[in-house]
Amino acid sequence: MVKYILFDIDDTLFPTTEFAELARKNAVRAMKTFGIDKTEKEVYRTLEEIISRKGSNYEAHFDELCKKLRITNNARFIAAAVAAYHNTKTAIQTYPEVPLVLLKLRERGYQLYAATNGNTLKQWDKLIRLQIALYFEDVFVSEELGVEKGDTFFKKVLKKLGATPEECVMIGDKETADIAPAKKLGMHTIRVKQGKYRKEPTSAEFQVDDLGEVPGIVENLSKHQ
Amino acid sequence: MVKYILFDIDDTLFPTTEFAELARKNAVRAMKTFGIDKTEKEVYRTLEEIISRKGSNYEAHFDELCKKLRITNNARFIAAAVAAYHNTKTAIQTYPEVPLVLLKLRERGYQLYAATNGNTLKQWDKLIRLQIALYFEDVFVSEELGVEKGDTFFKKVLKKLGATPEECVMIGDKETADIAPAKKLGMHTIRVKQGKYRKEPTSAEFQVDDLGEVPGIVENLSKHQ
């Protein structure tokens, strides 16, 4: 009997990869508007290099960008870049089918959780910005559990839920983080072909193009048990 | 001959006091939505106490708020509060007459500057969010000049501009910070009756209800010299 449905967040509930790219591009364009004396290409490449080195949760991307590009009198450029970046990041929207899928599952009595790598506050922030936070009972985040998604992460989740693996469905885009470890423990798994891993193979029990197919799959699982 | 027009930012170009209050109220309401087990009044009062103690540029108001209220499992509350707070803060708008006033002054050949206390990046961020940053040649901020608005601040501004006091008009809402020290040095001064100091007396050369009167005053000053 399925009781708990676990969702990955990034590239599962909203197009993270696309929004992140757009946010970076808008930031660079805003710096150009304020008269930065470099080509957009050069600025964008330098920014990408900094993000890939420092990670996307680093707090001072644009300070470092100005330092690297030897831009002085930089407060206006940093402020313009941060405003454009945040304007895009705070305008994130779910994939269109997501709110109705979550509502249907809640109505049918399933308990919904998010299961995600990253920073606890930032992952809650995303659900709140997406206006879907209230559908979820709780969020399991690697920062809080002390381990990235894998066997140990999902074992801890089961313990916190007081659940057996068969009572859980894990839904995500990434084979190594979302699917393989959950499946190994005996959870049901649904892989969604979205984001930058969408062309990679999967061992998931089910594979879908978008989350619109999830309520049907979950109902079938519940009937046949 | 007037050449330079200096504007205070907070409560001069936009209703800072009102937006700050609304941002705090929205933050508290968002925490209630997520089920915080306290009255709005209690949460709001505690938040105000923290802000008055730590200052409005403190970075961890809501973390401390949760700690003070003994709220555990707090990531959702902090994220909800910060999102609501930022949504309000990033939706700031100028007083309605401001963009046209700035445009008129620029068209007539005046150079516009902001002169403000606070954090350089945050003050630039406000001008950018307000969509008026491009009207200003530069921003003089206490953080960069190393001193809050007063005699020394305005002396430094004059030196940076290479200007005589008579060539400058300082416009602001606060007698002690904006008007008295600028007037003492010989600048023209215009006090705008907005924000929390609007009922206090002033020594300003001119006093206006809003910035709509500024282009006329400046034209008269230029004619009679």
Mutation for B interface: A128, A129, A135, A160, most B CBs within 10 A = A128
Place of tokens 């170009």: B13
What is the ipTM metric for this complex?
A: 0.77
Q: What is the pLDDT of residue A94?
A: 95
Residues B168-195 have pLDDT tens digits of 999 999 999 999 999 999 999 999 999 9
Q: What is the pLDDT of residue B225?
A: 63
Question: What is the average per-residue pLDDT within A42-63?
Answer: 89
C-alpha closest to that of A66 among A97, A123, A27: A27
* B190, B217 contact by CB (below 8 A): yes
* A113, A162 contact by CB (below 8 A): no
Residues B114-150 have pLDDT tens digits of 999 999 999 999 999 999 999 999 999 999 999 999 9
Q: What is the pLDDT of residue A43?
A: 94
Residues of B in contact with A87 (CB under 8 A): 90
**Confidence band of B60 (pLDDT split at 50, 70, 90):** confident
Is B114 in CB contact (< 8 Å) with chain A? Answer: no
Residues A63-120 have pLDDT tens digits of 999 999 998 888 999 999 999 999 998 899 999 999 999 999 999 999 999 999 999 9
Question: Hey, what are B206's tokens?
Answer: 């001119």
**Confidence band of A55 (pLDDT split at 50, 70, 90):** confident
Q: What is the pLDDT of residue B58?
A: 74
Least-confidence region, from A2-16, A160-174, B60-74: B60-74
Q: What is the pLDDT of residue A225?
A: 63
Q: Considering the entire predicted model, what is its pTM? A: 0.84
Q: How many residues does chain A have?
A: 225
Q: Is the pLDDT of residue B56 over 90?
A: no
Question: Hey, what are B108's tokens?
Answer: 């007539």
The alpha helices in A90-213, defined as continuous H runs, are 98-107, 120-129, 142-145, 151-161, 180-185
Residue A207: strand pairing partners = A191
Q: What is the pLDDT of residue B57?
A: 73
C-alpha closest to that of B144 among B111, B122, B171: B122
Is B89 in CB contact (< 8 Å) with chain A? Answer: no
Residue A23 and residue A29: Cα distance in Å, rounded?
10
Of A80, A133, A139, the CB nearest to B128: A80
Residues of B in contact with A89 (CB under 8 A): none
Q: What is the pLDDT of residue B73?
A: 82
A122/chain B closest Cα distance in angstroms: 7
Q: What is the pLDDT of residue A66?
A: 92
Q: What is the pLDDT of residue A224?
A: 74
Q: Domain segments of chain A: what residues?
A: 4-15+93-223, 17-89
The per-type count for chain A, helices as H runs and strands as E runs, is 10, 6
Q: Is the pLDDT of residue B48 over 90?
A: yes
Question: What is the average per-residue pLDDT within A16-22?
Answer: 92
CB contact under 8 A, A133 and B80: yes
Residue B118 and residue B104: Cα distance in Å, rounded?
27
Is A60 in CB contact (< 8 Å) with chain B? Answer: no
Q: What is the pLDDT of residue A218?
A: 97
Tell me what percent of the residues of chain B surpass a pLDDT of 90: 88
Q: Sheet containing B138-141: which strands, arranged edge to edge?
A: B138-141, B111-116, B4-7, B168-172, B188-192, B206-208
Q: Which CATH superfamily is domain B4-15+93-223 in?
A: HAD superfamily/HAD-like (3.40.50.1000)
Q: What is the pLDDT of residue A73?
A: 82
Residues B65-115 have pLDDT tens digits of 999 999 888 899 999 999 999 999 889 999 999 999 999 999 999 999 999
**Sign (positive or negative) of CA dihedral B118, B119, B122, B123:** positive
3-state secondary structure of A71: coil
Residue B36 and residue B89: Cα distance in Å, rounded?
22
Question: Hey, what are B109's tokens?
Answer: 């050949």
CB contact under 8 A, B83 and A128: yes
B17-89 has which fold? DNA polymerase; domain 1 (1.10.150)
